[in-house]
Structure 1
Amino acid sequence: MDHSPLRLKKQQERRLGAGHCWVYSNEVDAAATPLKGFEPGQPVDIISHQGKWLGSGYVNPHSLICARLVSRDRAHPLSGSLLVHRLKIALGLRQRLYPRPFYRLVFGESDGLPGLVVDRYGEVAVVQVTTAGMERMKGEIVQALEKVIRPRTVLFRNDTPVRETEGLERYVEMRGEPLGEWLEVEENSLSFRVPASEGQKTGWFFDQAGNRARLAPYVRGRRVLEVCSYVGAWGVTAATHGARVLSLDVSAPALRAVELNAQRNGVGDAVSTLRGDAFDALRELRAAGERYDVLMVDPPAFIKRRKDLKQGTLAYRRLNQLALQLLEREGVLITSSCSHHMSRDALLDVLQQAARHTGRQLQLLEQGHQAADHPVHPAIPETAYLKTFFLRVLPAF
């Protein structure tokens, strides 16, 4: 496959040299290699202003991140064989860490495959393609998966809004044996069902598995409120450790899945559900005089773009402030952010502000992050996104 050159401006190769793989449109020498001359997803050789070959990848002239470097080896550009090679390397890590095939198999840039996410549910591979360059490789992706893990079904969940920034259509597509309504997933010795085609993102949030494994001492015998429950991963886990749980979510189908998952794990009587907007429902619970020993808050990303930072930061503060007002004395708040634009220190500062505003004092007990099947690339800060804090909440002193 022929690769056209994509030349960078002077001194714009430093990020790539440090290990990152993104090229922004304002870093391209548009006089030498006009972006309008490329097609979305077209293979390119990325070269410095002085003509030094930096790597090969693909381009999208319509995206702010206009190119992604995939290979630093001239002999091995993006191809079906490179996909197989990278998948085998990714699989080696997961097989070393996980006794059963339920995990994120490919985490984009961190596994050397920018624009590609693959989650594994036993014999089912759920794939999300977010770039034009990877969309061109869709057939090769299926072939590589068949060679490396031999899935019974490959489900493309290409219905994420981020595809629109690449000029790509949104769709759901299935290859292989037909799927039913549910996907089966195992986590920490528990069994769950998640919606196959209608659920959030790729169905299950594997990134929180390690944090959920630490729940037991905090929730045993306690009254627990799970906020933004989705299908009840946190709440059902808490209930299996002896908690009495109320799961709150705005989605009726998600709450039906909570009830199903509670029954599957023998805790149907310990889990109840409440449908409503998180902010409104928390206010209503407070007005009704409800109080809980533990609140688990795992909202969607409030800050998806840098320009959302101010508004999103306010949303995190408001949500956690409402949560704090529902906690008993010496209660525990387990709260998360999956917004990579919000740093760990910034989130902790927001939580401290919320606590002071409600006359509370925080003790940070544990800090969690994304599970090892979402490895962080040290040169790509965007791959480190999940923050989870376990906090004891006391009267101010």
Structure 2
Amino acid sequence: MSALRTQSARVILKAGKDKPVKSFHPWVFSGAISEVDDFHQAGDLVRVCASDQSFLGIGYLNPQSQIAVRMLTFIDEPIDDAFWVRRLKAALLLRQNFISSSTNAYRWVNAEGDGLPGLMIDRYGDYAVVQFQTLGIEKCRDQILNALSNCVQVKGVYERNDLTTREREGMEKRKGVLRGEEPPDCLTIQENGIAFDVDLKTGQKTGFFLDQRENRALVGAIAKGKQVLNCFAYSGGFSVYAAKGGAHAVTSVEISEKAADWCRVNFEKQGLSRLCQHEVIVQDAFDYLRESKQPFDFIILDPPAFCKHKNQIQEAAKGYKDINLHAFKRLNPNGLLFTSSCSSFITADLFQKIVFGAAKDAKREVQIIKATHHAIDHPISIYHPEGEYLKSLLCRVI
């Protein structure tokens, strides 16, 4: 994308609608736009200006999207090859400063959290998995891939652009190799010195739930001697940490047979069956909690997003309350519940209210021991609270 194009196309905001951008919020909604000058194609770079025509920043415009402009910078600079190299290097340095050498799988670029709306890059050892979530980022693809290669040498770059958000941007879903080698069907990664087998090509998200890394470590630190139930177990991350932490027994409930197989593989990979009894149950977690009468000392709830749109909040809240209600009923006295929501529309405040309602209806006295969020490699811009999607509570039944 040429710097010349950024100098010519302009988006002029309506009077009184420029406050979010002046406060460094990275989104401009379509209703805030007064006019567009010299615009060529959806996804092109534009200069964003206030109603008095003063410069506010540079972003990319997609008139088809409700979020019409996503801001890349709030200073007047060219969006050239050097820009992408600077941003990717800065993001990589942050991870290198905070992530242990015993971990080789992490989020390298977290979209708005790293000042690059629409771009996700996850690093899995010698492979990078990229997601171009928006048309503007898609149009900068070659520059981004070149910048990636400038920062690190990987065996391959794989795209997981199988996202519904792309359809809303007028793009097709797509998966495949972009640079170098195709990743193997089963890739072994290291997280806090623990080996996990992951599937980068067909696994959920980009292969592993990297955002729960620190929460898995928390579970492992407090699981000793406990009967643990891991619902929505996927490939067994929480189950493995619980067993490594000395759990007496772990039950993993997962509705997908394929994911359940990964869960078994990852548990056996550590040789944990000699130390901890492990049962994998292929069943819907809601049904299991309603039907099972077995009590547990520690229950983990890490469900998929129940709410992907604002109009689903009420229904999602019912789902979260139901699953937490039945979990509270299954806990022994002094039992622990670690419960998460990855729905961005469910705020931390609302989630706590939902868990409060579940505890009340279950007639259990409950303490909140700790509130957590996503891992350190998922930074959030202080100007973009919408980026805080994962919230979790560690609760104790008294």
Deviation at 1:34, TM superposition (A): 7.9
Give the structure 1 partner of residue 159 of structure 2.
Answer: 156
Deviation at 1:38, TM superposition (A): 5.0
1:111 aligns with 2:118: no
Deviation at 1:146, TM superposition (A): 0.8
Give the structure 2 partner of residue 125 of structure 1.
Answer: 128
Counterpart of 2:396 (choices 380, 392, 396) is 392
Alignment of 1:81-92 (within 5 A): 81-92=82-93
User: How far apart in 2 are the matches of 1:292 and 1:340?
Assistant: 29
1:61 aligns with 2:68: no
One-letter amino acid of the counterpart of residue 163, structure 2: T
Contact 1:236–1:271 (CA<8 Å) still a contact in 2?
A: no
Judged with a 3 Å threshold, the aligned counterparts in structure 2 of structure 1 residues 28 and 149 are, in CA distance, closer, same or farther, namely same
1:143-196 CA-partner distances (Å, limit 9, x unpaired):
111110111110100001121111111111112112210232211221101112
Counterpart of 2:186 (choices 182, 187, 192) is 182
One-letter amino acid of the counterpart of residue 376, structure 1: I
Deviation at 1:33, TM superposition (A): 2.1
One-letter amino acid of the counterpart of residue 129, structure 1: F
1:245 aligns with 2:247: no
Give the structure 2 partner of residue 260 of structure 1.
Answer: 265
User: How far apart in 1 are the matches of 2:52 and 2:197?
Assistant: 54
One-letter amino acid of the counterpart of residue 353, structure 1: G
Alignment of 1:289-368 (within 5 A): 289-368=293-372
Deviation at 1:255, TM superposition (A): 0.6
Deviation at 1:344, TM superposition (A): 1.6
1:176-230 CA-partner distances (Å, limit 9, x unpaired):
1122102322112211011121111111111111112112343111111101111
* Paired residue secondary structure (2:357): helix
User: How far apart in 2 are the matches of 1:40 and 1:280?
Assistant: 46
Deviation at 1:132, TM superposition (A): 0.1
User: How far apart in 1 are the matches of 2:66 and 2:273?
Assistant: 48
Contact 1:321–1:358 (CA<8 Å) still a contact in 2?
A: yes
* Paired residue secondary structure (1:359): coil
Contact 1:120–1:126 (CA<8 Å) still a contact in 2?
A: yes
Structure 2 unaligned segments of length 5 or more: list them: none
Contact 2:228–2:296 (CA<8 Å) still a contact in 1?
A: yes
123-132 vs 319-328, which moves further: 319-328
Contact 1:127–1:154 (CA<8 Å) still a contact in 2?
A: yes
Give the structure 2 partner of residue 272 of structure 1.
Answer: 279
1:18-40 CA-partner distances (Å, limit 9, x unpaired):
111101011111xx3289x6522
User: How far apart in 2 are the matches of 1:349 and 1:311?
Assistant: 15
User: How far apart in 1 are the matches of 2:271 and 2:134?
Assistant: 42
* Paired residue secondary structure (1:214): helix
Contact 2:100–2:192 (CA<8 Å) still a contact in 1?
A: no
* Paired residue secondary structure (1:329): strand
Counterpart of 2:203 (choices 199, 205, 212) is 199
Counterpart of 1:33 (choices 36, 44, 51) is 36
1:208 aligns with 2:218: no
Structure 1 unaligned segments of length 5 or more: list them: none
Contact 1:38–1:61 (CA<8 Å) still a contact in 2?
A: no
User: How far apart in 1 are the matches of 2:314 and 2:288?
Assistant: 24
User: How far apart in 2 are the matches of 1:313 and 1:60?
Assistant: 32
* Paired residue secondary structure (1:213): helix
User: How far apart in 2 are the matches of 1:228 and 1:98?
Assistant: 26
1:52-103 CA-partner distances (Å, limit 9, x unpaired):
11111111111100111102232332x3221110011001111111133321
Contact 2:297–2:336 (CA<8 Å) still a contact in 1?
A: yes
Give the structure 2 partner of residue 19 of structure 1.
Answer: 24
User: How far apart in 2 are the matches of 1:66 and 1:313?
Assistant: 29
Aligned pair count reads 387
Give the structure 2 partner of residue 173 of structure 1.
Answer: 176
Contact 2:112–2:380 (CA<8 Å) still a contact in 1?
A: no
User: How far apart in 2 are the matches of 1:75 and 1:331?
Assistant: 55
User: How far apart in 2 are the matches of 1:255 and 1:136?
Assistant: 38
TM-score, normalized by length of structure 2? 0.94
50-59 vs 178-187, which moves further: 178-187
Q: Pairwise CA RMSD of aligned residues?
A: 1.5
Give the structure 2 partner of residue 136 of structure 1.
Answer: 139
* Paired residue secondary structure (2:307): coil
User: How far apart in 1 are the matches of 2:105 and 2:244?
Assistant: 20
Contact 1:259–1:268 (CA<8 Å) still a contact in 2?
A: no
Contact 1:38–1:60 (CA<8 Å) still a contact in 2?
A: no
